[in-house]
Structure 1
Amino acid sequence: MLLTTKLLRPTPDSRAVRRPRLDSLLQPKQAKRLNLVVAPAGYGKTTLVSQWCSGNRAHTAWLSLDGQDNQVHQFWQYVIGAFEHSGLIGLEACKAQLSQLNGDDATPLITALLNRLTDTGEAWCLVLDDYHVIRKPALHRQLSWFIDYLPPEVLVTLTSRTEPPLPLARWRVRQQVQDIHPGLLAFSEDECRAFFQGTMALELSDSDIQTIFRKTEGWVAAMQLAALSGQNQAAASASGSVVRADNPLITDYVLTEVLQQLPADQVGFLLETACCPRLSAELCDAIRQTADSQEQLLHLLSQNLFLVPLDNDNHWFRYHDLFRQALLQRIQVSAPDHAKALELRTIEWFMNHGYVHEGLSLIVYRQDAEMLARALCEHGNNLIHGGYHLPVLSWLDLIPTDRLQWSPRLQMLRVWALFFANRVEGLEPLLTDTEDLLDRQVADSHPEAEGALALQSEISLIRSYLARTRNDDKHAADLTRQVLKDIDQIRIPLKSVTFYGLGLDYFGKGALDDAIEALKSAVHYGKLERKPSTALSSGGLLAWIQYNRGDITVALETTRQVRDWVDEHCTDFRHPLLISCWQNSALCEIYREKNQLTTAGSYLAPLLEHVSKGTEPGQHVVIQYARGHLAFSQGRYEEAIEALEDALATGQRRREHIVFEPPAAAALLARCYLACGHPRKARACLTPALEPAARNPLNREQNLISLARVQIAEDNSKAAINTLSPLRADTQKNAHHRHLVEILLVTAEAYLVDNQEDSADQALDEALERAEEAGFLRLFAEESPRLQARLAERPGLLQSGRWSGELLAMLRAEAAQAEDNTLMEPAQTGRSEAGSSSSLVEPLSQREQEVLSLIHQGLANKDIAERMSVAPATVKAHIRNLYSKLGVGRRTEALARARELKLLDNPA
């Protein structure tokens, strides 16, 4: 049961200051997805948003959060309840997903809610008040995902005492966030008057108010300090030593008054801690060499002014940036030597306590290249393997060339950073130069040669990956094993990356048992070494293998465990969410096979953004394969063919940059062509994949299964049976359960074509038995209607059981859909004929007309999405509707038809 009062928008206090200029900032805009109102308690956040909602035409779903909502189930239950309370209907699917919520994975529920909001087409505003009470990392990640894929008509508004750990930097770059912070909350002169006389109930003259407003520039914090300290006009007019800041928001008056009113010990505390980008009591005690910092921080916090909490436990804080700049300028002028000493102590504390990024940032600020070089030598390896290779590259560029050239460790850091940035083309010369330098230093007993064995192991590991790109598996395996042999003698944490490489080797050979063991070790050491990228990739590939072997439940558990660990230990929500191509692709494939196509699409969606922005070629191929497979399962064959053709082209063009053998895109593409009635195209795309045979046995099996399908389509069922017979034995021996089930289904199809019904039924019964053990469903829905009808009559399927019931219901639904499609054929023909007339049966919407215009300009889908400030999936939906109304199937036809109907102002 929901507490209704949490869903009621507060009625604004009649005494509250009206803020029409802030109301205008909160209004929806084309690209905006989030209003973020962040300020300490008492800044009027709730009042401001409530006032704005009272005049907003959009439907408002309001939720006042409290500490009890810091649970995934309850949080989303109240979000759904807020929408329902505000009049949104049709939330049954969301409630059903909520009732099925297992653990903290709310992806299906969020997908259902997003789909419902998209379907309404109406303007909605979701307000989450007091979001600072939410601490659970999974909820921050889920809300980030929800906001990323909001339909354009929906706007989220958050109020919080602290800046929430969401990917705000990314959203700000895309102009998707409107920030309302204390600086924007500064009052105008009229608001200042209303604040003192109405809200604060202080009897101040107009002259007093004008003086305070002019000298504070409307900064509410300064006004509060003036009011709370009983400041009068004489004090407000006082002058003294002036501390200037470059930003005009901090005036001479504010700094002078703040420092003059505080005790000397607090002034000293402010100045001595200004060098800290963020503060804690332990840090401040260390750099000040005192023990009273916690008391000082809490006293500043009680004033609720220039100290901003960074968490809900009052452990970490930061100063307002402009205020901190002014403090820094004062201490650097008044006590430069002391300021430098404090800065060095701050750097030392950050580095010693694991806050390497903050320490390096201060070193860069000091422009101390030698200190930066030493720090990168010590910490750069962990930073790179933790996903921060691009910052390391930029920091290396700040070190003089001669310093880099004589340091094997720094050169190796550049190699690793370039490797993780997928810039492998020029690595071999860099490795050779590093080896030569290392040999010279060892011969000369140079101090930097002490870690020679560790560096040689790193060089060997990089060379093993480069060997894989050249299909030199033996050399890659030899190098990897040598690293494993030496690894216990070095201190560099390389085990996770090494075992991941070993797992790739075994996967490429089809030694799946060995691959599983290696990848489990990679996940284990990835956690120990705090390498989230390696753990995610290893766990994702492990799940991919487990899925292909038929261990769907085990694969799902693998992905859950790794994701939970990353969310708990390694995710900083101020940075983009770490996404694993292997893991999300595996989840897409798993849920597609479980016939949960919407859920599958929710895991694919984040990967498509990576494709549109450009990603590593191997990842690109895997993503497009998963995309094509899902589109094939949904009957969207044209989209599937487009994705798979792109996967094939990328795999061929960039093969030397891919360290594994990608999935069998040609085999799946052949199936798409067969589904469209083009067996010649199917054989043509499949033939190059058969000769030479794929090195990965999973790919080799998939290619041969598709070959058998082509042979059946060519009325050569005997050849198909001959193709499948030896393959069946291999898959059974190697425990490739998914392929074994598919082989049995295609074999049954061949037998039916050859009128061997008993043999066909025997193969079907075995396929059903093995598929039930694994939980496969979608395999059956993608076979021919004749085979599906035969399956639906098998006695084993008619027995009671959850899996058999789901499969039978799916087969019946597929049969009904096929019948509907048959009945629709005359109507579709009529539409095609209508397409040649002089008018449309149904007019284009405004959005569809906009999409048509952008297509006419030659823009790709991703560019259209950016121009319209919508998700790529939304653009595709508009294009599908556009094609349907025009009675066409591709862009060129759409433009030709639009010109015929004079829908384009300037025909080309």
Structure 2
Amino acid sequence: MVDALVHTKMAFPRTRTELVRRPRLTESLRGAEDAALVLVSAPAGFGKTTLVASALDDVTPVAWVSLDARDGDGTRFWTYTLHALEAASPGCASVALTLLEAGNGRFDEVVAGLVNELSVRPDPLTLVWDDYHLADTPQVSDGVALLLEHRPSQLRLVISTRADPALPLSRLRARGQLVEFRAADLRFTATETGLYLNRVHELGLATGDVEALESRTEGWAAALQLAALSLRGREDAKGFIDSFAGDDRYVVDYLVDEVLDQQPIQLRRFLLDTSVLDRLSGPLCDAVAGPADGMPGSAVLELFERRNLLLVPLDDHRRWYRYHHLFGDVLNARLLAERPEDVADLHGRASAWYEAAGEVEAAVRHAFAAGASDRAADLIEMAAPELRRQRVESLLRSWVPLVPPEVLAQRPVLASNLVGALMASNTFDDVEDRLDALERTLMSPPESLTIRDEVEWARLPALVATQRAGLALVGGDVPATLAHADAALARAAAGDQLTVASASALKGLASWANGDLLTALHAYQAATRGLVATGHVSDALGCTVTVVDLELQRGNLDGARDAAGHALDLVEAPGGNPGHPRGGVTRGTADMWTALARVAWERGNAQEAAQHLGRAGDLGEAAGLPQQPYRWRVAMAHLRESEGDTTAAAALLSEASRLFNSDFSPNVRPVPAVLARLHLRIGDLAAARSWAAAAGVDVDDDMDYRREYEHLTLARLLLAEHRAAGDPDRLDRAAGLLVRLEVAATEAERTAARVEALLLLAVVADAKGRADQALSRVQEAVELTRPGGWVRPFVDAGPRAVELLGQLRGDARFMDAVTAAAGGSRRPAARREERSPSAGGVEPLVEPLSGRELDVLRLLGSDLDGPAIARHLGVSLPTVRTHTQHIYAKLGVNNRRAAVRRAHQLHL
């Protein structure tokens, strides 16, 4: 989650104006544009970060990641890397981020997704990993090596490190793809040393003294800086320089002693106390170290910065800093050596400050560093309900391995929260064992347990049953799912709407998996209402995704549109985004725009669908739920195909297949089957046959709702093979399969499947010369689709189905909509005149009004003002204004009176 990241780790370091310019290095680094890797490798304190930042100061875009020891975890490493790339060049890592957030641990797929995205971008991009040695684990280096091997030319990699990374450097050297800066390159020359000591620090040293220091430090930037601090105010500068000796390791210790010893005792203590912090701010330092020399923490930090005391600002407002890594490491080592008994207390103070500031992640991290597992457990347990509401499962999941088993054994509420985080992240490996242990804990006397959240404790028996139901559903055990869900409902306390909603949703999923769409729909509508009532808005939007799915399968386009529209009204209303931790866009909002795009697409309105998908895309992946990435790509693939770009459509579907996330839903519309249909439409029968073989579908299979879409796809393949080879056996096999599919869909009231089967049966009858039967099938389909303006099934059934529709006498407007959606011209002029809405020859709309826009239009013809229209429709005033603007644009008017007049002319 972005909200859990430390964004300053991805901030480009600010370069000081008073730095010594080193063009011999910066120009060389800046000019290494064709290198696969620029490696800056030298011991601590050689100015690696400063050099890279100076060289790239005027280069854009640059993605910068400052690494630390925790980044050796592959997920954390790539999370920061991909977010930094996205910040530098939006859209360049969205697919890779989605693959990473899916949590399957396949970093090679993440890297492949990143390479594919970067390879199509026109502009160059530089990625910098600073302090790479802290994260150089096999888990990280394998992925980086893969990125180097397949690096697109647009990407330049820069690594700053204290030790050579475990990467194929010799191979890169042999290919001439490696540019290296070593300690010998980074050492200050005598001239640079003089500029640094006399211009930056204004020490006024003689040339001989400068040369002596340059020789004794061997141009080591950190040693020079510490020496300059020690020399400030000394009367005997020459004596100090003459006595300065030793190798690098001892020089650091010596000079740090000199710097620390020259500070007043309270400032020295402040430095050691705050060395436990990876970020420094005045209030945080006050809480951890208290005032120093009577100065608050902010004043001390400003003083240190003015004295160049190895303090790095992290923002432009002088609010957040960090110590130079070398300096911070030495300070922390001194603290451990001098006052080890204080370390836990200092971390504890930091944890308390972060808790009060609402930064749970940092509060928990310092609690663990303090060895206070019980305090960390308290924090997690109390924060978990809100984190679940915000859908920040990844943060909860990251704490799972840190909580000791003995702590979990005494904290059933916490144990249940962590089980929920694992399940929400599609991690089920040890969930059953954890649930078994949790149920054993529940058998203990309550007084022997530690309970911090009494509300969650009261819910626990029902919650465990709900989690059992979810686990059974993932395992495909529908009867057990229903049994556990019923148990959860029976155990739910009065007023526990959250449990009722969760159990209802699971029962709905079980009904959906069995093909009982109406029961599933009612369950999901109930779940949505309960989730809204409890403030779980993102989860309610997730349920709405399923409601839209079910309504579309039932052929109720108005119901699908209204469900998504009401959900958007919920998050657009004032204060309507409690699902977001900082008042931003609620997770799931993007899914609602994609849902509206699907409805518009089914009604043949590609332009409106494109607009809605554009809104969803602009909101970004963070505004979407787990299914959004693949759903958006499937919807966009349909648009690209309609524009004639079948290559892009196929690529989008391939991405969608990799990004697929069921989120507990039955996979009733597999993306590979969607891609197979595209292959059929472009005549690639071989690819479609490969899909059928891999999917294992056959005409003699039992009718199973979960494979209904695949069987319909198989029927399309058989029809395509008949057209290609004239094989009557293929036609007969398709007919037999379609008859069984149509019967099953009709009995279960699955209208979408029924309509598709009817239209394909019409094509079969037509191919057999049975014209009356073909038209009868088409007429049945029209009666099911025309009331909702549902044109897409005819287009998807192929050109012959559209031609058969044209042979019927009926609603010319509906037939025109089908023809337009199929990419053809409007019907003949005589037919247009039959439906002409006015004698004055008013041209019909190019883009029809949506159902919601028609609702608003009718009320525009009344005496109601805008707020009254909003109240009447149960939506927000901004939503009414948006619909009104769309109405004006489609009608070609610019005010309310003209819109009403135009609507009367068009009989709207």
Number of the residue aligned with 2:189:
193
- Cα distance, 1:730 vs. partner? 0.4
Contact preservation (8 Å) 1:308, 1:319: yes
- The equivalences for 1:44-443 within 5 A come to 44-45=51-52, 48=55, 140-144=89-93, 149-151=117-119, 156-158=124-126, 172=144, 174-176=146-148, 178-181=157-160, 187-188=183-184, 191-193=187-189, 196=192, 200=196, 203=207, 207-213=212-218, 220-224=221-225, 226=227, 234-235=239-240, 251-253=252-254, 255-260=256-261, 266-290=267-291, 292-301=296-305, 306-311=310-315, 314-384=318-388, 388-389=392-393, 392-393=396-397, 395-401=399-405, 403-405=407-409, 407-423=411-427
Bigger shift: residues 702-711 or 628-637: 628-637
1 CA distance for matches of 2:84 and 2:397?
33
Contact preservation (8 Å) 1:464, 1:480: yes
Residues 405 and 649 of structure 1: CA distance in aligned 2, closer, same or farther (over 3 Å)? farther
- Cα distance, 1:727 vs. partner? 0.8
Contact preservation (8 Å) 1:539, 1:562: yes
- Cα distance, 1:188 vs. partner? 1.9
SS of 1:141's equivalent?
coil
SS of 1:550's equivalent?
coil
Number of the residue aligned with 2:594:
540
Name the aligned partner's letter for residue 334 of structure 1: E
Number of the residue aligned with 1:891:
none
- The equivalences for 1:833-872 within 5 A come to none
1 CA distance for matches of 2:819 and 2:704?
37
- Cα distance, 1:763 vs. partner? 9.2
1 CA distance for matches of 2:536 and 2:751?
34
SS of 1:580's equivalent?
helix
1 CA distance for matches of 2:662 and 2:326?
37
Contact preservation (8 Å) 1:728, 1:743: no
2 CA distance for matches of 1:730 and 1:142?
41
1 CA distance for matches of 2:282 and 2:21?
41
Name the aligned partner's letter for residue 581 of structure 1: Y
Whose RCO is larger (CA < 8 A, sep 6+)?
1
- Cα distance, 1:48 vs. partner? 4.9
Residues 657 and 158 of structure 1: CA distance in aligned 2, closer, same or farther (over 3 Å)? farther
- Cα distance, 1:725 vs. partner? 1.4
Contact preservation (8 Å) 2:226, 2:255: no
- The equivalences for 1:298-697 within 5 A come to 298-301=302-305, 306-311=310-315, 314-384=318-388, 388-389=392-393, 392-393=396-397, 395-401=399-405, 403-405=407-409, 407-423=411-427, 450-451=455-456, 452-453=458-459, 455=463, 456=492, 457-467=497-507, 468-469=509-510, 470-471=513-514, 480=524, 483=527, 495-500=540-545, 502-522=547-567, 524=570, 527-530=577-580, 534-565=588-619, 580-595=629-644, 597=646, 600=649, 604=653, 606-607=655-656, 609-610=658-659, 622-631=670-679, 636-639=684-687, 642=690, 665-666=713-714, 669=717, 673=721, 677=725, 684=733, 691-692=740-741, 693-694=744-745, 696-697=750-751
1 CA distance for matches of 2:454 and 2:396?
22
For structure 2, the residue ranges without an aligned partner over 5 or more in a row are 1-19, 63-80, 95-113, 149-155, 164-180, 199-206, 464-491, 833-840, 848-908
Bigger shift: residues 170-179 or 154-163: 154-163
Name the aligned partner's letter for residue 178 of structure 1: L
Cα deviations across residues 831-882 of structure 1 (Å, max 9, x unaligned)? xxxxxxxxxxxxxxxxxxxxxxxxxxxxxxxxxxxxxxxxxxxxxxxxxxxx
How much is the aligned-residue C-alpha RMSD, in angstroms? 6.0
Number of the residue aligned with 1:9:
none
- Cα distance, 1:547 vs. partner? 2.5
Cα deviations across residues 571-600 of structure 1 (Å, max 9, x unaligned)? 9xxxx9996222232222233334455665
- The equivalences for 1:767-806 within 5 A come to 767-770=815-818, 772=820, 776=821, 779-780=822-823
2 CA distance for matches of 1:238 and 1:510?
89
- Cα distance, 1:346 vs. partner? 1.9
Contact preservation (8 Å) 2:598, 2:635: yes
Residues 302 and 484 of structure 1: CA distance in aligned 2, closer, same or farther (over 3 Å)? same
Does residue 43 (structure 1) correspond to residue 50 (structure 2)? The answer is yes
- Cα distance, 1:724 vs. partner? 1.8
Number of the residue aligned with 1:16:
23
- The equivalences for 1:757-768 within 5 A come to 759=807, 767-768=815-816
2 CA distance for matches of 1:429 and 1:190?
55
Number of the residue aligned with 1:830:
none
2 CA distance for matches of 1:620 and 1:316?
51
Contact preservation (8 Å) 2:344, 2:371: no
2 CA distance for matches of 1:800 and 1:640?
46
2 CA distance for matches of 1:538 and 1:39?
52
2 CA distance for matches of 1:735 and 1:371?
59
Residues 699 and 474 of structure 1: CA distance in aligned 2, closer, same or farther (over 3 Å)? closer
Cα deviations across residues 324-355 of structure 1 (Å, max 9, x unaligned)? 33333322333345432331232233334343
TM (normalized to structure 2)? 0.58
Residues 796 and 770 of structure 1: CA distance in aligned 2, closer, same or farther (over 3 Å)? same
Number of the residue aligned with 1:723:
777
- Cα distance, 1:529 vs. partner? 0.9
Residues 63 and 43 of structure 1: CA distance in aligned 2, closer, same or farther (over 3 Å)? closer
Residues 208 and 304 of structure 1: CA distance in aligned 2, closer, same or farther (over 3 Å)? closer
For structure 1, the residue ranges without an aligned partner over 5 or more in a row are 1-12, 51-61, 67-131, 752-757, 781-787, 806-908
Number of the residue aligned with 2:792:
738
Residues 540 and 403 of structure 1: CA distance in aligned 2, closer, same or farther (over 3 Å)? farther
SS of 2:275's equivalent?
coil
2 CA distance for matches of 1:316 and 1:267?
20
Name the aligned partner's letter for residue 607 of structure 1: A
